Chain A
């Protein structure tokens, strides 16, 4: 069975601090896909990144970076120089390699950036 654990329920930091959101996953599939989504107060889930299991390269996009480590089954997300607009709930999600595999979400981490 697929499982995603986001151990941090809530994080609160002051603006301009760096913050890392943890994601640990479980799967027996050799091919799988990992995702991060942002859910701002408006409620709409916004796609941030997708990683497949064969691509362990870390990725940076502006102030966002992702660290994928298969050895520890982790896919962590770091926001550098956080801003108030980064305040949201962030979800990590996992999908197996089969055609009908569902997207399994973690419980989410509520991130609050204080001015």
Chain B
């Protein structure tokens, strides 16, 4: 079974530029998550989708971050404009529907903002 796919794996941009990340979850997984992991810290949830609806985006900096999940499958996360403090690994995860379902993570996109 294919895992969670993410692209690109690495991205370097200058501050104030925009960037977009793509995620394809495990087939059949209704729930999709985007996390931000700053070096030396645990992942922090940015947004959670159930099918194509947003369940939790309380920690998403909405003035610069946006995410969508069209057709309830693939998802994109966008940052516009980027700041230096956005340098981090952006992880996508998916799970079956259900409160305690384990989440499966993709390889992540390492973003460096200079």
Contact = CB atoms under 8 A, between A and B. Distances in A.
Given A52-B100, A102-B56, A107-B42, A45 B91 contact: yes
Nearest to A46: B105
Contacts, number: 57
Contacts of B43: 45, 91, 105
A72 B113 CA distance: 42
Contacts of A91: 42-43
Contacts of A100: 48, 55-56
Chain A: number of interface residues, binned into ranges: 20 to 34
A108 B41 CA distance: 7
B25 interface: no
A50 B45 contact: no
A99 interface: yes
Interface in B61-114: 89, 91, 93, 99-100, 102-108, 110
A12 B78 CA distance: 38
Given A43-B108, A44-B105, A102 B100 contact: no
A15 to B, nearest CB: 25
Interface string B33-66: 1000000111111001000000110010000000
A100 B99 CA distance: 8
Interface in A1-60: 4, 33, 35, 37, 42-47, 50, 52
Interface of B: 33, 40-45, 48, 55-56, 59, 89, 91, 93, 99-100, 102-108, 110
